[in-house]
């Protein structure tokens, strides 16, 4: 951290956040948490009976990336698809309350808004159930999102593609994003969920976790040098400019195609881990916002690593504030 980024330089980057514009494209979701306690086992089946104490609805998936950038003071735009249902209406209201432009959010009448419901008792997740469609979005929806990106592209400092494999990030949409951003000097950052990394070929920055990276390279991470081999393989095979592999308690590894040092390792910053839900959203959101604010990739990765250390210390899909980030620095 000290070798890559000084406190003074970190604060200079953060100072640019309000002037930096980031577009987040991908699978918009809602995370529903039901909080309760277990005092007995059901007489009907060998399952715990959860006595519900409270519940909360939080922005998830692509919307969580967007929310992280918003709470750090960046100017953020969103693009994706929701359903014509009550949850979709609630999402639009949440965005409007934050004064976030919703022109890039397309409503498909026959598609449910993706909803993940988690029941949590005594800090432990008991069960999760999902309401969703993973069918590819309509070509007309791709066209609307593409037009929105084209309208914004001259003002953007970075684009995030947040792929949760729920049907929004299709080959057609990715090809359109390549075409619209080509030659504009806009860094495109991808958080991948699909096994076929050829879909993302040629984008600037990709942020898989270590399992996703190993799978894409056809390798397992067993020894310390495996991550280096995986990084080099993915950069060459898929023509990425950079690769940031998140490794949980092992921290992160940044690989840059034009860096002779091969890779930069960032040790984990978390003092205590409560919940990793949405940590990848925080990483790519902070990374993109920092790049849009004039940071180098190493500087952006260092700040993203600090942010991840904060967010995993919270329960549920969480965001961090500017004060929290400055406080840790």
The one catalytic residue among 31, 191, 204, 281: 281
Contact 126, 120 (CB under 8 A): yes
Q: What is the rounded distance in angstroms from the CA atom of residue 307 to the CA atom of residue 305?
A: 5
Query: Could you tell me the sign of the dihedral formed by the alpha carbons of 19, 186, 260, 264, in that order?
Result: positive
Contact 144, 106 (CB under 8 A): yes
> Token pair of 37, please?
């306690």
Contacts for 93 with CB less than 8 Å, ≥ 6 apart:
none
> Token pair of 247, please?
């490794």
- Concerning whether 281 is annotated as a catalytic residue, the answer is yes
Question: Which of 189, 187, 188, 234 is CA-nearest to residue 210?
Answer: 234
User: What is the secondary structure of 179-240 as a DSSP string?
Assistant: HHHTTTT--EEEE--SS-GGGGTT-SEE--BHHHHHHHHT----STTHHHHHHHHHHHHHT-
Q: What is the rounded distance in angstroms from the CA atom of residue 64 to the CA atom of residue 281?
A: 6
Q: Active-site positions?
A: 281
């Amino acid at each position: 951290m000290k070798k890559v980024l000084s406190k003074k330089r970190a604060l200079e980057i953060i100072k640019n956040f309000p002037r930096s514009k980031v577009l987040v494209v991908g699978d918009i979701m809602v995370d529903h948490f039901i909080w309760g306690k277990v005092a007995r086992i059901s007489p009907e089946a060998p399952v715990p009976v959860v006595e519900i104490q409270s519940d909360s609805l939080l922005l998830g998936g692509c919307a969580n990336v967007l929310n992280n950038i918003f709470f750090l003071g960046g100017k953020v735009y969103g693009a994706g698809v929701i359903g014509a249902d009550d949850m979709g209406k609630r999402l639009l209201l949440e965005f409007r309350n934050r004064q976030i432009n919703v022109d890039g959010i397309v409503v498909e009448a026959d598609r449910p808004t993706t909803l993940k419901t988690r029941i949590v008792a005594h800090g432990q997740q008991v069960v999760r159930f999902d309401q969703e469609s993973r069918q590819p979005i309509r070509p007309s929806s791709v066209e609307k999102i593409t037009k929105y990106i084209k309208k914004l592209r001259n003002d953007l400092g970075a684009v995030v593609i947040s792929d949760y494999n729920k049907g929004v990030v299709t080959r057609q949409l990715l090809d359109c994003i390549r075409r619209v951003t080509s030659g504009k000097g806009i860094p495109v950052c991808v958080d991948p969920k699909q096994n076929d990394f050829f879909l993302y070929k040629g984008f600037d920055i990709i942020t898989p976790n270590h399992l996703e990276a190993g799978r894409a390279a056809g390798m397992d991470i067993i020894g310390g040098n495996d991550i280096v081999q995986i990084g080099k393989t993915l950069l060459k095979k898929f023509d990425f400019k950079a690769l940031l592999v998140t490794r949980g308690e092992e921290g992160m590894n940044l690989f840059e195609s034009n860096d002779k040092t091969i890779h930069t390792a960032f040790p984990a910053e978390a003092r205590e881990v409560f919940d990793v839900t949405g940590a990848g959203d925080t990483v790519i959101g902070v990374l993109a916002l920092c790049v849009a604010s004039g940071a180098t990739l190493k500087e952006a990765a260092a700040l993203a690593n600090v942010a991840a250390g904060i967010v995993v210390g919270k329960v549920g899909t969480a965001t961090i504030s500017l004060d929290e980030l400055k406080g840790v620095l």
